[in-house]
Amino acid sequence: MTVQQETRSDDEALEVWIDQDLCTGDGICAQYAPEVFELDIDGLAYVKGADDELLQAKGAVTPVPLPLLTDVVDSAKECPGDCIHVRRVSDKIELYGPDAE
């Protein structure tokens, strides 16, 4: 089982995406969770999917692996561009990021 597959149960599963329009390219997310985030040659951060593929489609999401939850949440909290969104898969409610309540 890969790290990307080690997620929470379906009702608690979380996913993360990056709004590249707001990304400042500081790379803090890639430092916190390099298994989930990566900077591309355009200088912007993207999420990674299965097999570490870079997901460059606008609004691309990837599961948040349970062992990396703290690192992904810290990435969202520390992001200077305020562009990392962590939400529940079941209802799309943002739990961490600029649109969290």
Q: Which pTM was predicted?
A: 0.87
Judged against a pLDDT cut of 70, whether residue 64 lies above it is answered with yes
Kindly list the structural domains of the chain, giving each domain's residue range(s) and its CATH number in brackets, ordered by start.
11-96 (3.30.70.20)
| Reported confidence tier of residue 9, pLDDT bands at 50, 70, 90 | low
Judged against a pLDDT cut of 50, whether residue 48 lies above it is answered with yes
Select from 98, 92, 91, 74 the least CA-distant residue to 18: 98
Residue 6 has a pLDDT of 44
**Averaged pLDDT, 55-84:** 96
Burial of 1 per CB tally in 10 Å (0-12, 13-18, 19+): exposed
What does the mean pLDDT of the chain come to? Answer: 90
Residue 10 has a pLDDT of 53
